[in-house]
Chain A
Amino acid sequence: MDRVQALLNCLYKEAELLDEGRYREWLTLLAEDVRYRVPVRVTKERGPEGGVSGVMGGMYHLDEDYTSLEMRVARLETGFAWAEDPPSRLRHFVTNVRIGEPRPTPKGEETEVRSNLLIFRSRWDRPDHTFLSAERRDVWRQEEGGWRLAGRTVILDSATLPTHNLAFFF
């Protein structure tokens, strides 16, 4: 299977695991040195460099490593994680996938993968829902046993989050 198709499969598989709440399996997709970050986004003027801005390096909504992600998963398994118990109905829509060129690193061959993400979240029997829209900038690494997510930065499209917590994964 070619590299592009393999990476697309990774993204779709990951979305399936997250939507189905199979978090232990999701953890197996992560590299041990994974860095998983969601920076705070703020409204800024268009800078001289052009493009959009407002990604604040100093503060995050999530700044995780493997241990802390595993902790969040373990918490969901305690039976007392009310924020996601009962679980939300989540749907990860992954689109506009852009796959970079492979590059060798001391830890293995890595590829940058960018994708657009729309997360639909519905809780309880309420008729309303929340949406979160973002771009994900991933680094996927070819390791023994398959591709692993080695880095993810989630560029949110909201400055003020329209949802009451981030009790799920992007």
Chain B
Amino acid sequence: MARVKGGVSSRLGRMLEELQEGIEDGLVPAWIFNDPELFELEKEKIFSRSWVYLAHESEIPNPGDYVLRYVLNNPYIVVRGEDGVVRALLDMCRHRGMRVCRAELGNASHFRCPFHGWTYRNDGRLIGVPAEREAFGPGFNKAEWGLCPIPRLEVFDGMIFGNLDPEAPGLEEWLGEIRWYLELVTKRSPAGLEVLGPPQRWVVHTDWKLALETFLSDSYHTLMTHRSLIELGIAPKDAKYAMYGEQIHIPGKGHGSMVVGAPPGAKLPPFWGYPEEMLERARTSYPTREQFETARETRILLVTLFPNFSFHNPIRKPDHKYQGTVPMLTFRVWHPLGPGRIEIFSWALVEKDAPEWFKEKTRHSYLRFFGSSGTFEQDDTEIWSHVAHNAATAQGRELRLNYRMGLELEPDPNWPGPGVAYGLNFTDANMRNFHRRYLEMLLS
């Protein structure tokens, strides 16, 4: 791995060296979760060069449909043009830089700037300039003054990603082998996924890496953080339920997945408890037989893409009295706002061809357990905010945190999927892998 080199202050350089030295021993200094200088470097080295999730195609199904989304503080109009093509246009008028999009979502054939009235088609072309001839003369070429598209935009199975770096590798290369795990969700049905409405958005005083870690590798926290749900009989009785699974990471990429089955002796339905008809459809829609067989044994699935996208797909009951189970699926962007401060964008999704009763139940499962009011997630956000606070304290920031879980584990040779898999989900392997990638990007 590259050693710390120029471009960072000597203070930050020393800090990164410390992170680099500790990571293979599972030692991570607390300051990484709340440091202004590090945050500036993350903006420049990570978020300006990574594929960042913007939207799902089902949010903008028709020509003219748009949503407003962000990469760092850059606002993008993610819009489907009349030609059906999805674009992400920087929401900044080419004349003086005003915002041209006046809403978070909607349908528009044009975006007209409220400052001096320049008007753009929903494909970004400038088509109207008030008093064009008088003001700018006959030589004015509107074709040169369209809205700026995000430097890179790619779609994977309905998931729209953008990248600020024109030189970035393609999305497919970026994803690499995590694709196999993404497809467990995106290809569960031939019809694909749809969002159940716009995202919930809320602010948490924490670090994006800490939030992400919960979805990338920290199955261990469920024991204690979510004990209330175990007491209520919502989570499986065996408090170690999230341990019984594989933890998989993709070396060099930073991505990871957790694939959890049923605790020994527990009676949980296969395939997340999806209706039988959906299981049947999955049999033919999965690209490989291994994916189908893996999906059939899965009760909880999490996938995290470097740097800040996660999804969570657990088996659930819509409430504590409900007989039976209904799974739920949430997509997440851990949107960095500043040191120790994030905004969460959280969507609920479902297979387009799921039965209506199922869509309604899965929506309720989501709302009651995850998202802004979710009874699981409430306790996560409470805890994350205290960790980030401590990480900025004078003595606390110097503490080495323990990322040593599973250091002695050997990879599972029988796991059918790609990546490095461990047969015990209580390990920090995914997070250590994340930090290797994280450092590599910070230092390059």
Contact = CB atoms under 8 A, between A and B. Distances in A.
6 contacts: A38-B373, A45-B103, A71-B234, A74-B232, A162-B202, A165-B202
A83 B382 contact: yes
A80 B228 contact: yes
Interface residues of A, number: 38
B29 interface: no
A83 B227 contact: no
Contact of B202 (A71, A72, A160): A160
B197 A62 contact: no
Given A58-B197, A163-B203, A78 B232 contact: yes
A61 B381 CA distance: 15
Given A40-B200, A71-B319, A165-B382, A61 B371 contact: yes
A56 B321 CA distance: 28
Interface string B329-355: 000000000000001000010000000
Contacts, number: 125
Given A59-B200, A72-B375, A82 B205 contact: no
The secondary-structure label for the interface of chain A is: mixed
A6 interface: no
Give chain B's interface residue range (CB within 8 Å of chain A): 35 or more
Interface of B: 102-106, 196-205, 224-225, 227-229, 231-232, 234, 318-321, 343, 348, 363-364, 367-368, 371-373, 375, 377-379, 381-383, 385
A110 to B, nearest CB: 25
A54 B102 CA distance: 12
Given A59-B198, A165-B202, A166-B372, A160 B227 contact: no
Given A67-B319, A80-B231, A42 B198 contact: yes
A165 B373 contact: yes
Contacts of B198: 40, 42, 56, 58-59
Interface string A102-136: 00000000000000000000000000000000000
A49 to B, nearest CB: 15
A83 to B, nearest CB: 4
Question: In the complex, which of the residues A45, A63, A82, A84 has the most CB atoms of chain B within 10 Å of its own CB atom?
Answer: A82
Given A43-B103, A165-B372, A160 B201 contact: yes
Contact of A161 (B202, B231, B367): B202
Interface in A28-47: 38, 40, 42-45
A159 B228 contact: no
Interface of A: 38, 40, 42-45, 54, 56-64, 67-68, 71-72, 74-75, 78-84, 159-167
B347 to A, nearest CB: 8
B312 to A, nearest CB: 16
A81 B227 CA distance: 8
Contact of A164 (B205, B318, B320, B363): B205
A45 B231 contact: no
